[in-house]
Amino acid sequence: MAMPISNPDLTNLTREEKDIIGLVVKKNGQIRATKPKVKEDEPITGKASYVWRMVVFMVSQNRVHQCMPMTADFDLPAYDEEGKWSSRKSREMAETLKAVEDAIVNGVDKSQWHGVRRWQKAFYG
């Protein structure tokens, strides 16, 4: 099952946001079919994993990807000053990553928003 192609607008993104996109979208524009590997010593990989999960929820044809991403934020490197994972920091980080998600999803032709269409049918019949 082929993943959608994205042509994200990189105009207003930071270097880190562009690097995250590079971990989620292949050089040919196709969104990765599998989640990027999270490396504890590379916080960007946790962010990329989170972004990938949110993106495939919306655009993938794979029904497994269309399940609610309830634990996607567990991959975020959201630790407090004591080194404990923080749900508050996770939510804050997720909000800052919304621009990256939007850039990738908006770069996909709307006819390829498979997850969005599936959930639209679930909510509106």
Domain ranges of the chain: 15-119
Evaluate whether 53 touches 112 at the Cβ level (below 8 Å): no
Q: Using the predicted structure, report yes or no on whether residue 55 has a pLDDT greater than 80.
A: yes
pLDDT bracket for residue 124 (50, 70, 90): confident
Read off the pLDDT of each residue in 7-12 and give the average, rounded to a whole number.
96
For the entire predicted model, the pTM comes to: 0.94
**Can you give the pLDDT at residue 65?**
96
Q: Closest Cα to residue 107, out of 61, 62, 59, 64?
A: 59
CA atoms within 13 Å, Cβ hemisphere of 124: 5
pLDDT bracket for residue 1 (50, 70, 90): confident
Q: Using the predicted structure, report yes or no on whether residue 125 has a pLDDT greater than 80.
A: no
**Can you give the pLDDT at residue 113?**
97
**Can you give the pLDDT at residue 53?**
98
The two tokens of residue 23 are 């971990």
Per-residue model confidence as pLDDT tens digits over 65-122:
999 999 999 999 999 889 899 999 999 999 999 999 999 999 999 999 999 999 988 8
Distance CA 96, CA 74 (A): 16
Per-residue model confidence as pLDDT tens digits over 21-41:
999 999 999 999 999 999 999
